[in-house]
Structure 1
């Protein structure tokens, strides 16, 4: 055999061996990317489902709490007024929200539907209904949520929420029933847009769907007892997820569930697995096609394989980096406000005060003052003297006149001019008792009024702030879609869209920071010993000073200053204040930072950091609003910002037990002074030759700092 032939076969063998190794590496790499893509899609879908069930849980909780408040109110009023209770009038007055609760009524002890806010035709017997029978056999007045039923009064599907009515002696007096349209839930679920085969449902733990959305289809009362979710909840799980074939439409789904605390109900959300993996399958097919092309190229020309694999690797890395940059963040805020106990004053049969409750004393700040024995006129003068002029108290006699004029429960609002702003709701009820002629009762509604006003103002402001950049984004995007432009103009429009999108992202990120700080307080903080000089120096070197401006001017003591603080949060706080100082001194004036130890006799030591600019400054009215969300001293729109920076600073400093002082004057600049507590004085922890490690380690501990007094 010629040597050349032997050499050829050996070369071919080596070439095919090399090609086989390269093909094996190529396919192994593709399979790894496919697995990674699948895991990522599933993780994103699970995160979205968890957020959707959380939103739906809050929606259901608010609905049931609202219904329960109506039930308890009617329960109390029915015991007082019996069949004279006018539910239709309460609906017209807005006490009952007819849009959410279309029918509200009372079933008497015999099962007859006696009262309703809707017309009733004939004698309607509901004694065979589950939501009536369950209260007959039990003395508990717990809230019951029925399966969807076809209402006999309305002829429509509804979910019945009921409570037992007990007379004072414990006898069964009937049932208060509030009907909730299950479509109220399914319409909300449709807005979540889970896709053509997505599912969102409100299930009872009995396995019956109260409201179910599958794609665009609505169902009520669907049985799903054999779904694995009920076995998991029975085993004690409050929340979880799984993948299984749906018992509703026999589709493979990813499902996330949450049990509603306090109710025998749960929320379940599902996404079609094939839809979830749609992008993954498309990417998988593309990857397999690319691998096949690479394989053919390897077989045709082995020497070109390395370059092609490098291109594939580069392309995949670029795609992964792009995916990581597009991740979304979601958050939701919810608050529960507790009402303080009612206060009351009772009057004897001669209209003289005979008892004042402790809650009334606390609300009005009367202390140990004695009013027992005072007649109602003198009492009215005493209370009116404590009211603000904007909400005068007209007297107990005026309330009694309203009661005599046909008002079943006359109430007025007053605002006290002592002990800060406090809004009270007053009502009067008469009595036929020989010892009590009437009772004046009070309820503190200050928190409710302030919360409603804060919510309205915050939502209006946030919507306004987000609408401005969104208008620019939509406008320029619409122009780009409908018109042809040269490359330079397109780049200009895209840059505007990018800048406005970045502004929206900044607003949302800072809102999320505020929401996280308010919700978790300092549980995300990591308090360690922080070298202030090192932190400030690093900050001064890394801060992007605007073009044409001099850097941050530092004045720091020679001896070290140590704080017990969260280093990242402290850096964020200083960055926000420094950024404001540069923005609001646009004519190139210097920005200065000073730090010193604050030592006062009989007080804990602290460290003060002062940032000063010589810019536009603020008026006293503007200064008073610093820290309000979305408030900005400059309203011209020429200085960029979200108006949330100082709100974040205020929250972080408060959680460090620190204080903020701001001095400012129009045209003279602004000084922001942050004082934070520390555990050791410099005299105790620093020698002339430098800090003593043993003393410093003993004096400064890795714990939350004490308050700076």
Structure 2
């Protein structure tokens, strides 16, 4: 009926409202996590931006350091070159050194090789003949063209016996012919060891000086020793120009932000790199704090939401149970008197109810005698069994309720109501003739039926009164079945 539908819809609406609690929780948590993730993204971007700025600054400083080192070496080479070219016969390299004209702190040695490649003089003692004509830094100057300062790949010096970078300049004779080479040997490690600073570069930073001719002059990463003379890994080739990039180092497999500066005059490139993990170390700690905080809040809100939802469910279930108890006959589980009357009122209030709404008043025969004979427990069992028969017979075609005692009321609504009522009474009579299978041995129970169809101006109480009166007339007259068209009453037993 309409009231039942309304109640059911009300309950469903209340239960649908339960979704609001977890939905609101999810919304709050979603905002929380989105805010934290966006904040972390902003922080990470700021850290990476600062790291790129720091890498560029370090590359600029390394460029200055390298240029100064090469410039100092070139000054020594030029000084010795011009001094030797002026007075080759009387040139004294030892005197230059004694007078402090060769002052580079990192110069391993200064050597003069003649046009035939043999060493003429050196700041380090040597014995016998030392021939350098097969060395690249000697042969490159055989060409008449002045190539300026040439910086060789690191090699082991034949006099010093140490790894060194050979910076060389051509010596010209008065007539312009090739007269030999001035060689300044430099420790390649100084290019990086003399610059590396843990405070600026961290424990996993990296600096390198690479040659445009495909080799590494010097490279240092962290506290590891500097490396020199290696072939340039393919990943380093793009760094041969002035760039700023994220770089996965193929040598030690560390991800870095690197900046490079190309020294075009000398064909060199300096590279400074900062470890991404080190740069993000504070960010990672902050992220752990944020995520831990957000996870804790998530668990707390989820638990609170679950508790509130469970409490609301419990309250709704209690409310539903109270509603059901207030509207249900506890013995038969049928709608009680108040509920069935309300259902009848709703049916009567519907448009076009006149002539389409009917009630059947059901009263069990000799129920008092049954109670007196077998006791009230037997009577209660019979009422439960009869209620089940009535409900199973009516099904979805109407509503069955208990008015009290052994009286039941059936509410029907249909277009051809007279035929529906007749068919219903026939089915009810047949249903009650089926043995009850009572534990007390009561197999059958009779019933009297009083029926009334709604007329204009009648309300529920008038309709029930008419059906009750019809039931008593049927009981008193002991009629099997009669339809009185003049009063629109149906009697049955």
> Normalising by the residue count of structure 2, what TM-score does the alignment of the two structures yield?
0.57
Q: Tell me whether 1:274 sits opposite 2:297 in the alignment.
A: no
Q: Tell me whether 1:123 sits opposite 2:129 in the alignment.
A: yes
CA distance in 1, matches of 2:50, 2:21: 43
Residue 199 of structure 1: which of 178, 184, 206 is its match?
Answer: 206
CA distance in 1, matches of 2:159, 2:222: 30
Are the aligned partners of 2:65 and 2:195 in contact in 1 as well (CA < 8 Å)? no
TM-superposed CA distance for 1:287, in Å, is 1.7
Note the alpha carbon deviations across 1:185-231, whole angstroms, 9 max, x for none: 2322333542332211111112311111111121111222402x533
Q: Any residues of structure 2 matched to 1:469-548 within 5 Å, and which?
A: none
CA distance in 1, matches of 2:223, 2:268: 23
CA distance in 1, matches of 2:28, 2:83: 82
Q: Any residues of structure 2 matched to 1:138-153 within 5 Å, and which?
A: 138-153=144-159
Structure 2: gaps spanning 5 or more residues: 1-6, 307-493
TM-superposed CA distance for 1:79, in Å, is 1.0
Q: Tell me whether 1:174 sits opposite 2:171 in the alignment.
A: no
CA distance in 1, matches of 2:196, 2:247: 22
Are the aligned partners of 2:77 and 2:183 in contact in 1 as well (CA < 8 Å)? yes
CA distance in 1, matches of 2:218, 2:251: 13
Are the aligned partners of 1:86 and 1:117 in contact in 2 as well (CA < 8 Å)? no
Are the aligned partners of 1:83 and 1:114 in contact in 2 as well (CA < 8 Å)? no
> What does residue 300 of structure 2 align with?
297
TM-superposed CA distance for 1:123, in Å, is 0.6
TM-superposed CA distance for 1:149, in Å, is 1.0
Structure 1: gaps spanning 5 or more residues: 304-709
Residue 95 of structure 2: which of 89, 97, 103 is its match?
Answer: 89
Q: Tell me whether 1:260 sits opposite 2:263 in the alignment.
A: yes
Q: Any residues of structure 2 matched to 1:638-649 within 5 Å, and which?
A: none
> What does residue 108 of structure 1 align with?
114
TM-superposed CA distance for 1:161, in Å, is 0.6
Are the aligned partners of 2:216 and 2:228 in contact in 1 as well (CA < 8 Å)? yes
SS at match of 1:267: strand
CA distance in 1, matches of 2:270, 2:220: 12
CA distance in 2, matches of 1:232, 1:191: 22
Are the aligned partners of 1:158 and 1:179 in contact in 2 as well (CA < 8 Å)? yes
CA distance in 2, matches of 1:125, 1:282: 60
> Normalising by the residue count of structure 1, what TM-score does the alignment of the two structures yield?
0.40
Note the alpha carbon deviations across 1:52-107, whole angstroms, 9 max, x for none: 11111111111111111111111111012215322122112111015221201211
> What does residue 601 of structure 1 align with?
none
CA distance in 2, matches of 1:192, 1:283: 23
CA distance in 2, matches of 1:144, 1:76: 16
CA distance in 1, matches of 2:166, 2:182: 10
TM-superposed CA distance for 1:10, in Å, is 3.5
Say if 1:8 and 1:299 are closer, same or farther in 2 by CA, change over 3 A: farther
Q: Tell me whether 1:215 sits opposite 2:222 in the alignment.
A: yes
Q: How many residues align?
A: 299
RMSD in angstroms over aligned alpha carbons? 2.2
Specify which structure has the higher proportion of helix: 2
Are the aligned partners of 1:141 and 1:165 in contact in 2 as well (CA < 8 Å)? no
Q: Any residues of structure 2 matched to 1:453-472 within 5 Å, and which?
A: none
Residue 291 of structure 2: which of 268, 276, 288 is its match?
Answer: 288
CA distance in 2, matches of 1:232, 1:99: 29
CA distance in 1, matches of 2:178, 2:45: 57
Say if 1:9 and 1:71 are closer, same or farther in 2 by CA, change over 3 A: same
Note the alpha carbon deviations across 1:14-68, whole angstroms, 9 max, x for none: 1111112112111111211121111111111111111111111111111111111
TM-superposed CA distance for 1:3, in Å, is 8.0
> What does residue 246 of structure 1 align with?
249
Note the alpha carbon deviations across 1:548-574, whole angstroms, 9 max, x for none: xxxxxxxxxxxxxxxxxxxxxxxxxxx
SS at match of 2:257: strand
CA distance in 1, matches of 2:232, 2:280: 26
Note the alpha carbon deviations across 1:418-458, whole angstroms, 9 max, x for none: xxxxxxxxxxxxxxxxxxxxxxxxxxxxxxxxxxxxxxxxx
TM-superposed CA distance for 1:272, in Å, is 2.1
Larger Rg belongs to? 2
Say if 1:138 and 1:23 are closer, same or farther in 2 by CA, change over 3 A: farther
SS at match of 1:99: coil
